[in-house]
Amino acid sequence: MIVASNPPPVWPAKHRIRQAFDRAATRYDAAADVQREMSDRLATHLTQADLDLDPDAIVDAGCGTGYSARWLAYRWPRARLALLDFAPAMLEVARARYPGAMVICADLEALPFTDGCFAGYWSSLAWQWNDPRRCLAEAARVLRPGGLLAVATLGADNFPELRHAFAEADDYSHVLAIPAPERLLADCRATGWAVRVWERGLVRRHYPDARSALRSVKAVGAHEVERRRPTPLSRGAWQKIDARYEQLREAAGLPLSYDGVWLIATRP
């Protein structure tokens, strides 16, 4: 087992994101139901794709606390599993769960592996914090020809309900800035990947009020929603936000939508 004792150097924006995920590590699993659904749906897509693969080595890139590793270990019990994340506190949880796995603290855009050392690359809800084009290039580098790529990420249209609720409160962005997923699909095809599955669809949750919806995002480390404001919102501003969010209320509560994207491909 390999464990990196110190996190790798990262750009300032990533440093802030890494700190958020480190702080969220101990409560992450209790709040990460959307993350689990994204991973479960990726596993379902991979099973239904019915690819004739038996990888001997798989990397879970952006493993978090290791939820996906359970399915990977069940699906390919003989494969050597590498768990990689850039948040040390997340890796501590994953390492305790999977003592036999290789555990590495590293950046998805600069993987510390030699070329062609894996037959499978899995990543669930991590590429959206990075440049997807760089992640794709690194996945291609560490995979062997014919190797499996399985990715669940986010599209560009996340949290439209928050955009609506905050529209009259201030001029700050309150949603994740993510490139359009069509560019990722185009990059795959342009570089020769055989795309087996491509799906885009909403993953929705409901909450009793606006603050509960925001807390659900913060609880999994995604502080981008509120960190763009330099000062707290006033009581009057929150009243406007609550009133606008209430316009969207459904029978189950106030909706919050993630723009889910699932990609399965094989390397040329």
What is the C-alpha to C-alpha distance for residues 143 and 59, in angstroms, rounded to an integer?
A: 10
- What integer pLDDT is reported at residue 40 of this predicted model? 96
- Is position 238 within any domain? no
**pLDDT score of 117 more than 80:** yes
| Residue matched to tokens 């699993």 | 29
- What integer pLDDT is reported at residue 173 of this predicted model? 55
> How many structural domains compose the chain?
1
The CATH number that applies at residue 187 is 3.40.50.150
**pLDDT score of 78 more than 60:** yes
Identify the weakest region by mean pLDDT among 7-21, 39-53, 168-182, 243-257: 7-21
Q: Tell which wins on pLDDT, 166 or 243.
A: 243
- Is position 52 within any domain? yes
- Is position 29 within any domain? yes
Domain that holds residue 132: 12-156+177-203+259-266
- What integer pLDDT is reported at residue 234 of this predicted model? 81
Tell which residue, 59, 203, 77, has the closest CA to residue 123.
59
Q: What is the pLDDT of residues 196-231, one digit of tens each?
A: 999 999 999 999 999 899 888 876 555 544 445 556
> Do the beta carbons of residue 233 and residue 178 sit within 8 Å?
no
- Is position 250 within any domain? no
Predicted TM-score (pTM) of this structure: 0.87
- What integer pLDDT is reported at residue 6 of this predicted model? 45
